[in-house]
Amino acid sequence: MSKLSNQAYEEMSKKASPPSRSGRNIPLAFLIGGAICTLGEAFINLYMYLGVPEKDAFSLCSVTLVFLAILFTGFNLYDDVARYGGAGTLVPITGFANAVASPALEFKSEGYIMGLGAKMFVIAGPVLVYGLSAGIIYGLILYLFKLY
Amino acid sequence: MSTRQGKYTVKLDNAPSIVGFAALGSKRESEGPMAQYIDILNADSMFGQTTWEKAESQMQRQVAECAINKANLSTQGIDYVLAGDLLNQCIGSHYGLRDLGIPFVGIYGACSNMAESLGLAALFVESAIAGNAMAVTSSHFCSAERQFRFPLEYGGVRTPTAQWTVTGAGGAIVGASSMPPYVKQVSFGSILDKGIKDINNMGAAMAPAAAQTLTHFFQDTLTCADNYDLILTGDLGSVGSELLYELMERDSYNIRKKHADCGLMIYDRDRQDVQAGGSGCGCSATVLCSYILQSMREGKIRELLFMATGALMSTVSVQQGESIPAIAHLVHLSNRPDFN
Amino acid sequence: MATFMEYMRAFVVGGLICAVGQLLIDYTKLTPARILVTFVVAGVFLGALGVYQPLIDYAGGGATVPLLGFGNTIAVGTLEAVREKGLMGALTGGLTASAGGVAASIFFGFLAAVVFKPKDKA
């Protein structure tokens, strides 16, 4: 067995490992992701109907979906939906919200400051770091090359 | 006295006995095939505590006390307790067993803890350091998940190769040679890393170490699968078990008919949503210290090779891009004390 | 009032974006965290190029709800802020535009953590 190279073993383990069930995962992601986006669309229309200007309606929709995702997380329901939703719950802003609420909830046992407070962004942090950094780089390019 | 056999195996000529054992599980384990054999079952995985870590400590405390009672001993009668778990700095064991007042030998072998602690306990008794030595280990789904993977309420998807950490604990007390099961041989493994990086596929990471330890044992003792009733691995799961067969076949050992895996025994994979099977120190501990040792006492299993495997990485090493080194420790248990 | 077709478009476009994410999860070694980062940065990129707004006009929530939309919000906000405030805008634009979602996540996350407890998955 010592004569088995790491590469050869990697091949062996790939063969022995069942692949992800994409035939099930991708349609489910489509359906559940589509449903969440449709719900978002409904909220946008609701807020515009209530007189909110369009731009704020989009923002308010985000806030609403964040609220609902966190509520579901608190009631221990979000993970049950996400098990089937896969990317359908991860890619919408609900994934971000759950990624913020779940560690805050979990690490409360280590205290409100060092647990809840410090660990809140342990999963979602990169989204802000890289998203905002990309935006700032874009802004610098805009300014320096007078593209605005 | 013990004697060395070959390069990796130690023969315990006095064949010390496992004089008492107990197992513990929680909700999922109570719904699985091993439920009727487990001594303590508590559907509340908090075990009446306020955090998951405290729950795991409570589990160790309860299973240790149960094993001591079943052996008709008291804590005074135990000379050493050898224990460990998956939590950072093994706090599950330290806080759980801190009130026992028994000299404490802490160990860490990840999911190989039960075999490592049992092997060491047997050697302590064999070399007359101890009259009685107790091996204890545990794992808890929630405490393992929050440390190694994600917060419980995080909406992640489990891959088909992933395994479910068992919320369970087991304790076994080794004492003078007096009753079955007898500990006859112990073989500690070397760390083996075949370059697997996927922490969702522990079975693939650990199978080579299992194959290595088992092969060394067969070579040292000049035996093969035919000499034993059961070769029991800890938590290779479905993927790791298949890889173990293929690796052993490369050295002309066929173990398919004699092999079982605790990870595949503790849960019913058809009814319970556990992907590739159970895992964790508690997996092998709970199955061994319930169904397996009971079956040996009753003569249903006569010659057993108990081999638990462990993945020796941490979240830090994984994030730094390292692969997963693994280890496997083996204990030969038998229904009879003689070596002929 | 919104039409059925509007909702249909939101459903299909949003669903497709998520399906692409699922493809990445199943067929690449990208972890969920890396996929989220990819989506948000891609959103900034597409927003910077100005090609994301047409998708929003077409699919509404189907384009804004996925994290691509979050990235686009950052890009659009940055452009406006640079126009209004110059260099300072490059720094503040993205965070200001996405402030609603971020603040909501922090505050509601905090509240939920105070009120609720995590449960075992058994």
3-state helix, strand, coil in chain B (%, to 5): 40, 25, 40
pLDDT score of C122 more than 80: no
- How many CB atoms are closer than 10 A to CB B14? 18
In chain B, residues with a C-beta closer than 8 Å to the C-beta of A36 are none
Q: What is the pLDDT of residue A19?
A: 86
- Say how far apart CA B105 and CA B141 lie, in whole Å: 24
Q: Given an 8 Å threshold on Cβ–Cβ distance, is C32 in contact with B28?
A: no
Task: State the SS3 of A97-137.
Answer: HHHHHHHHHHHHHHCHHHHHHHHCCCCCHHHHHHHHHHHHH
pLDDT score of C1 more than 60: no
3 state DSSP class of B138? strand
Percent of chain A with pLDDT over 90: 89
Q: What is the pLDDT of residue C3?
A: 87
Q: What is the pLDDT of residue B226?
A: 96
Query: Phi, psi (5° rounding) for residue B259?
Result: -95, 140
Q: Given an 8 Å threshold on Cβ–Cβ distance, is C118 in contact with B141?
A: no
In this structure, is residue A9 part of a structural domain?
no
In this structure, is residue A62 part of a structural domain?
yes
Query: Phi, psi (5° rounding) for residue B137?
Result: -155, 165
Using the structure block, give the residue that is written with the tokens 């306020």. B50
Nearest by CB to residue A86, choosing from B157, B160, B204, is: B157
The residues facing B164 across adjacent strands are: B278
Domain B2-175, CATH number (from 3.40.50.10190, 3.65.10.10, 3.40.47.40, 3.40.50.1100): 3.40.47.40
- Say how far apart CA C9 and CA B257 lie, in whole Å: 56
Q: What is the pLDDT of residue C31?
A: 86
Q: What is the pLDDT of residue B276?
A: 84
pLDDT score of C22 more than 60: yes
In chain B, residues with a C-beta closer than 8 Å to the C-beta of A108 are none
Q: What is the pLDDT of residue A2?
A: 65
Number of domain units in chain A? 1
In this structure, is residue A86 part of a structural domain?
yes
- Say how far apart CA B175 and CA B20 lie, in whole Å: 9
3 state DSSP class of A29? helix
Using the structure block, give the residue that is written with the tokens 């790791």. B240
Spatial contact of B209 and B202, defined as CB atoms under 8 Å apart: no
Residues of chain B with pLDDT under 70: none
In this structure, is residue A94 part of a structural domain?
yes
- Say how far apart CA C63 and CA C55 lie, in whole Å: 6
**Which C positions 54-113 lie with beta carbon below 8 A of chain A?**
59-62, 64-67, 69-71, 73-75, 77-79, 81-83, 86-87, 89-91, 93-95, 98, 100-102, 104-106, 108-113
Closest of A42, A92, A96 to residue A73, by C-alpha: A96
Which string of b and e fits C43-78 if b means at least 16 CB within 10 Å? bbbbbbeeebeebbeebbbbbbbbbbbbbbbbbbbb
How many CB pairs below 8 Å do chains A and B form together? 98
Return the residue in C26, C65, C76 with the most chain A beta carbons within 10 A, the one to mutate for interface testing: C65
Return the residue in A20, A36, A37, A52 with the most chain C beta carbons within 10 A, the one to mutate for interface testing: A37
Q: What is the pLDDT of residue A20?
A: 84
Nearest by CB to residue C32, choosing from B151, B156, B167, is: B156
Q: How far is CA A109 from the centre of its chain?
A: 24
Q: Given an 8 Å threshold on Cβ–Cβ distance, is A136 in contact with C78?
A: yes
In this structure, is residue A88 part of a structural domain?
yes
Spatial contact of B308 and B328, defined as CB atoms under 8 Å apart: yes
In this structure, is residue A143 part of a structural domain?
no
Query: Phi, psi (5° rounding) for residue B304?
Result: -125, 135
Nearest CA in chain A to B158: A83
Tokens of C108: 């509601």
First and final C-alpha spacing in chain A: 64
| Domain enclosing residue A72, as ranges | 25-120
pTM for the model: 0.94
Nearest CA in chain A to B323: A6
Residue C79 contacts by C-beta under 8 Å, 6 or more apart in sequence? A138, A139, A142, A148, C48, C93
How deeply is A5 buried, as exposed, middle or buried, from its count of CB atoms within 10 A (0-12, 13-18, 19+)?
A: exposed
Tokens of B49: 């505590």
Q: What is the pLDDT of residue A1?
A: 62
Strands B2-5 and B9-12: antiparallel
Closest of B245, B237, B257 to residue B211, by C-alpha: B245
Q: Please name the helix (run of DSSP H) or strand (run of DSSP E) that holds residue C91, with its range, or none.
A: helix C87-97
Q: Is the interface score ipTM higher than 0.90?
A: yes
How deeply is B319 buried, as exposed, middle or buried, from its count of CB atoms within 10 A (0-12, 13-18, 19+)?
A: exposed
**Which B positions 188-207 lie with beta carbon below 8 A of chain A?**
194-196, 201, 204, 207
Q: What is the pLDDT of residue A109?
A: 95
Q: What is the pLDDT of residue B159?
A: 85
In chain C, residues with a C-beta closer than 8 Å to the C-beta of A81 are none
What are the domain boundaries of chain B?
A: 2-175, 182-334
- Say how far apart CA B81 and CA B102 lie, in whole Å: 6
Q: Please name the helix (run of DSSP H) or strand (run of DSSP E) that holds residue A8, with its range, or none.
A: helix A6-16
pLDDT in tens, A71-107: 999 999 999 999 999 999 999 999 999 999 999 999 9
Domain B182-334, CATH number (from 1.10.3720.10, 3.40.47.40, 3.40.228.10, 3.40.50.11540): 3.40.47.40
In this structure, is residue A146 part of a structural domain?
no
Q: Which contacts of C90-97 are long-range, i.e. CB under 8 A and separated by 24 or more positions?
A: C90/A136, C90/A138, C90/A139, C90/A140, C90/A142, C90/A143, C91/A136, C91/A139, C93/A135, C93/A139, C94/A131, C94/A132, C94/A135, C94/A136, C94/A139, C94/C44, C95/A132, C95/A135, C97/C73
What are the domain boundaries of chain C?
A: 4-115
- Say how far apart CA A148 and CA B98 lie, in whole Å: 67
In this structure, is residue A102 part of a structural domain?
yes
Q: What is the pLDDT of residue B158?
A: 84
Nearest by CB to residue A83, choosing from B150, B157, B246, is: B157
Q: Hey, CA dihedral for B283, B287, B289, B292, is it positive or negative?
A: negative
